[in-house]
Chain A
Amino acid sequence: MSLLQSLKARDRVFDFMAPDASPVDVRHGPILYMEDVTVSFDGFKAINNLNLTIDDGELRCIIGPNGAGKTTMMDIITGKTRPTEGSVWFGSRHNLLHMNEPEIASLGIGRKFQKPTVFEALSVFENLELAMATDKRILPTLTARMTGEIKDRIDEVLQTIGLVPLRYQPAGILSHGQKQWLEIGMLLMQRPRLLLVDEPVAGMTEQEMERTAELLTGLAGKQSVVVVEHDMGFVRSIARKVTVLHQGSVLAEGSMDQVSSDPNVVEVYLGADDEEAA
């Protein structure tokens, strides 16, 4: 659509040929726009005609039973998996399907994986340093110096994720919850526009969950956050808008109350209370 419009506009010729280094354009509202996306693996449709729009600054929770396509959806956004059909736009200017993983990452999409992966041999501080949004080519990395500005930025994030006292410890000794926060901190170092967070509270204690909820709600507004989560209590505590995925497409969307009273949703997901624990 936007391509057609740009062709019709006569003040500029062929602006789709211009280099894609432009900032993310969110003037039209959504920061992420997925339309009719389908992914099939040998005929099995992991994602089936998915339509999803995330607004700038929004905190969105995505729920759905196992195999609903939540992880595949994240893979598509980050460029790990290519959809068979459909289009994925970041802002109204960047076609994510034309970009590779590092390009998408440097555009401002950060992803937190289910299993926390931090660099265990490096200190908390160094983990954040590596994640910082900066020139990541070889020579600038080799000659990079630690400046006060970078230090301040790292300190700021350390403050946000509450790991200041552990800054010089190797990340390998952190507890599970602390690793998750460090990973979120690493994403924040990249000053992302969109954060994709995969099951942030799996395996966390009640107390850690509360802190994570605070952290995530605090982040929304400054950046858009998409949380995939199984834990209903947690989703209820943070979500303003919830999307339910089922068999690779959107089943329902709305506030937690709206969604949980939707009969379709009750049938496939929320109704199965006894299975939810699994």
Chain B
Amino acid sequence: MMTRSFSKPSLSTTPSPSSQFWLTRPFGERATQIFLGVLLAALLLVTVLHTVVPQGSPLHVNAYTVNLFGKYLSYALLAVAVDLVWGYLGILSLGHGAFFAIGGYAMGMYLMRQIGDRGTYGHPELPDFMVFLSWDSLPWYWQGFDMAWFSFAMVLLAPGLLALVFGFLAFRSRVTGVYLSIITQALTFALMLAFFRNEMGFGGNNGLTDFREILGFNLRSNDTRLGLFLATGVALALSYILCRAIVSSKLGRVCVATRDAEARTRFIGYRVERFQLFVFVVSAMIAGLAGALYVPQVGIINPSEFSPLFSIEIVLWVALGGRATLYGAVIGAILVNYAKTIFTGVMPDAWLFALGAMFVLVTVFLPKGVAGLLRKRRRAATSDSAGTQEAIV
């Protein structure tokens, strides 16, 4: 028997499948503990710096920045959704922006109905753009969005349903790889064109905007902004736990098996297309949730969120952060968007070049992304002194 230096147990996060309950299993994992710890600390820190530290102090975090962080967190949530299908299932979705935007539109419709008669035209029921188009009643698909519970359910159900139908057709026909990527791209492009049309009843070109209140809280108040930021953080934490629970379950290992050898997985008796569909739908719902948290923070949702470019950008975040780690996606989304904020402020024209350069550099020097770098350092640390695992992430 060959005996290279394989005496150490596997370096993968789960040396051996555990016997715990699947939803609580992630809490036993180091990566999750660190991630949740860092996220919680960041949320607390921003809250304290925003509310306790006085305005004049250089440490004070203003409402604009809180809002910006909230936006980053919703992007991070979206990146986690993409990493779940791309990193673990091997489905490169270039259309996740569509689920994000649909979740966003569901939230936008709720926010529009909350405006009530305070719109420019003062119509008690119809949003401004419908009055402008001289419609005399709400289309059927706008019914119910005056109720928060219904709208929030739609935030998850609408993207989930689209993913269910789309995924059912795609996976049943065993469309995978680059063909699936192209079809998802076409899906989001088609939706973009559709939502641009005024007759669709989603505000056409301008989308939905001029929101005022969410659940009775004024959207322009600083406290609401902080609340939305925290809500996004909590959503990110919960979704992370859910995704982590999925990938560290046996189902997660079936996903990885499918990613690496689909035919083989089918042969050992798994209905691969159903697993793909399940994870795809979960991912779409998380993307929808991300969109719904994004919209009240930026104050607008329009068809440009469906743009294929945006969906490709999401994939770049995940690639930069590191695939199949989940926390890598979060790091990537925050890093790239932070860089984007800086660059578009200083040199707006150079942003796309900078993004391209970042992508090339990371691909060449860090093929496993930023998360790969963290892992490598951790591995080096653990092999130097076996006992000091807590050294680095």
Contacts and interface: CB of A to CB of B under 8 A. Distances in A.
A117 B259 CA distance: 13
Q: How large is the interface on B (under 10, 10 to 19, 20 to 34, 35 or more residues)?
A: 35 or more
* Residue from the set B10, B254, B256 with the largest chain A CB neighbour count within 10 Å: B10
Contact of B266 (A102, A123, A138, A144): A102
Contact of A123 (B10, B251, B260, B271): B10
A111 B275 CA distance: 22
Q: How large is the interface on A (under 10, 10 to 19, 20 to 34, 35 or more residues)?
A: 35 or more
A145 interface: yes
A152 B126 CA distance: 66
B21 A126 contact: no
A72 B256 CA distance: 29
B17 interface: yes
Contacts, number: 108
B17 A131 contact: no
B250 A142 contact: yes
Interface stretch (A34-42, A60-68, A85-93, A162-170): A162-170
Given A165-B1, A190-B268, A144 B249 contact: yes
Given A120-B260, A130-B257, A141 B269 contact: no
A113 B16 CA distance: 27
Contacts of A122: 253, 256-257
Nearest to B16: A125
B267 A168 contact: no
A146 B249 contact: no
Contact of B257 (A102, A119, A146, A162): A119
A62 B269 CA distance: 25
Contact of B251 (A119, A142, A169): A142
A120 B12 CA distance: 12
Interface in A109-148: 111, 113, 117-123, 125-126, 129-131, 133, 136-138, 141-147
Interface residues of chain B: helix, strand, loop or mixed (majority): loop
A141 B19 contact: no
A102 B269 CA distance: 5
Given A119-B257, A121-B256, A123-B15, A142 B268 contact: no
B12 A123 contact: yes
B254 A146 contact: no
B172 interface: no
A5 interface: no
Contacts of B16: 123, 125, 146, 168
A108 B228 CA distance: 54
Contacts of A120: 260
A105 B271 CA distance: 11
B2 A130 contact: no
Contacts of A105: 267-269
Given A102-B270, A105-B267, A146 B261 contact: no
A137 B266 CA distance: 12
Contacts of A123: 10, 12, 15-16
A143 B22 contact: yes
A139 to B, nearest CB: 9
A190 B12 CA distance: 25
Contacts of A102: 266, 269-271
B254 A130 contact: yes
Given A186-B268, A190-B269, A126 B274 contact: no
B290 interface: no
A131 B267 CA distance: 9
7 contacts: A106-B269, A119-B265, A122-B257, A126-B253, A130-B250, A143-B22, A144-B249
What are the 8 tightest A-B residue pairs by CB atom distance, in nearest-first order? Answer: A144-B250, A142-B251, A105-B269, A168-B10, A119-B257, A146-B17, A141-B251, A117-B264
Interface of B: 1-3, 6, 9-10, 12, 15-22, 246, 249-251, 253-254, 256-257, 259-261, 263-271, 274-275, 278
